[in-house]
Amino acid sequence: MKRMILAVLSLGALLVPVQASATGSAAAPAAGCEAVTKPSVPGAKVLSTSAAPKPGGTVEYPPEWGVPPITNVPPFCEVKVELTHPGAGDQVLVRLWLPLTGWNGRFQATGGGGYSMHQGDGPLALAIKEGYAAAQTDGGVGFDMEDPSKWALDSKGRVNRELLKNFAYRSLHDLAVAGKAVTKTYYGKAPAYSYWNGCSTGGRQGMMNAQRYPNDYDGISAAAPAISMPSFVVADLWPQVVQNVEGVHPTGCVLDEFQRAATAHCDPADGLVDGIVREPGECRFDPSTLVGRQIECKGKTVTITKAEADVVRKIWAGPKSSSGAQLWPGYDPSTSLAFTAGTPFKLAVNWVKYFVKKDPAFDFSTVGYREFEQIFYQSKREYDRILGTDDPNLTAFRNSGGKVVTWHGTEDSVIHYGGTLDYRHQVVRRMGGATKVDKFYRVFLAPGAEHCGPAAGAAPFDQLKPVVDWVEKGKAPETIAAFTYTGASRDLCRYPLKSHYNGTGDPRQATSYTCR
């Protein structure tokens, strides 16, 4: 999970400078922090509102994240709104950072990761550096991205439906209502435009806003969205089930060798050998070709076995039902298995423990193929309606004038990009074809990029800018500028177009590629 959030946060540290004000000139507060009053939040009771000026400066991330600090954060007014939902027994915190000077007239709500509805101070700091009034909510579920044990079950061992409802959707609307109301009080006028910005859980939250609260935001950036969470989070445990049942656990070195070999085999298909498989779904590589290969691993020479190749083949194939039906897309051979096939993915294990089995002591290592299938279907049956976030009817959002942009890395080993494409296809079928859908909802695949960030392939360093330009300038994005950590540039193409090397020019520069 740390690898997931690091990608999100480190990308944010490279956002572009402050944009021009949405209202034509930078705005100043109408009054000081002390003038902020309680907002009205229908369906909730506001318990308290507090505000205090903050000096800005440098914002540090938790040391274990390994993300550089954000510097030159401007002074701001921090507002905290505590609320509860009658009968729910919850206590929710909505937090805003409001720049003391240079407000650009916009409101930006920031999303979460894993089981947390926010990602700490970092996204707020980045947003106010760009002049936004910025906000987040904890939904009453705390700030642990991997472990929901403090809120998932009530005192009787039942799933806490009220907090799950907050996590799924209710607190998202509270955030929009309270955040925009406080912004209006502080600056003396409502935001000219309101935006959502998130990846992973934040991407799912963005799509939930579009589906359930179509009037809350003018534009939504929903990257690598964790839609169909009851399905993919169980499917993430498929590699563990295969290894446990077959009694074979390849080392990380061996798993990496299978990925490297598959990438080397499929990379040349696009006419450019650059470590990126641009059509990972079409990559065909036989893992048995590595049987007998010797590799160096931590100072030792190891030989790849047939049993290891068979396990990798089953993992790549993905989970299937007892009747042979594909439950979820398999792993593309060029995608790293080190994360989900190594140490069990803690977020996924905890989902099964707390939400499916309702038993914190449940031992997932005992699960076989048949029980895995039962767990998969139970998860969908019990939670799709509340957390699936895959309603293809975006009519109300379209009619509100809203715009949504999604990008997704093709080497995402946590949330398979196939889920995003499946949802896009459902929307197209439901709403009259791709041409009509492209007028308000566009998807961009990032070949070779991982979960919420670059790898060999490039990812956007400012995923909100294309949305802002679409909403405010009517400029629908055909491409999105993307970069690798080493500085190579590449434009992501509007789906279903794909990036092709022109045959000449520097392959590290976006100008050497064409979408077609």
Closest CA to 128 of 110, 103, 94: 103
C-beta of residue 385 within 8 angstroms of C-beta of residue 229: no
The rounded distance, in Å, linking the Cα atoms of 516 and 514 is 6
The rounded distance, in Å, linking the Cα atoms of 469 and 219 is 10
Q: Is the dihedral of CA 508, 510, 511, 515 positive or negative?
A: positive
| Four-CA torsion 500, 503, 509, 513, nearest 10 degrees | -30
Which residues face 403 on adjacent strands?
Answer: 219
Task: Report how far apart, in Å, the C-alpha atoms of 110 and of each of 32, 138, 189, 200 are.
Answer: 24, 11, 21, 12
Could you tell me the two tokens for 119?
């990602």
Q: What is the DSSP string of 37-93?
A: -PPP-TTSEEEEEEEEEE--EEEPPPGGG--PPEEEEPPEEEEEEEEE-TTT---EE
Kindly report the CA angle at 138 between 132 and 143, in degrees rounded to 5? 110
Kindly report the CA angle at 192 between 476 and 45, in degrees rounded to 5? 115
Closest CA to 351 of 330, 368, 376, 329: 376
C-beta of residue 283 within 8 angstroms of C-beta of residue 277: yes
200 is catalytic: yes
Phi/psi at 306 (5° precision): -65, -40
Which residues face 500 on adjacent strands?
Answer: 514
DSSP state of 354: I
C-beta of residue 388 within 8 angstroms of C-beta of residue 227: yes
Which pairing describes strands 499-501 and 513-515: parallel, antiparallel, or unpaired? antiparallel
The catalytic position among 451, 462, 491, 512 is 451
451 is catalytic: yes
The catalytic position among 116, 171, 194, 200 is 200
The catalytic position among 147, 174, 412, 462 is 412
C-beta of residue 194 within 8 angstroms of C-beta of residue 217: yes
Could you tell me the two tokens for 316?
């790549």
Task: Report how far apart, in Å, the C-alpha atoms of 67 and of each of 82, 253, 332 are.
Answer: 29, 26, 28
**40: Cα within 13 Å, side-chain hemisphere:** 1
Q: Give, for 446, the enclosing helix (H) or strand (E).
A: strand 441-446
The rounded distance, in Å, linking the Cα atoms of 339 and 343 is 7
412 is catalytic: yes
Using left for φ > 0, alpha for ψ between -120 and 50, and beta otherwise, residue 157 falls in left
For the annotated catalytic residues, the residue numbers are: 200, 412, 451
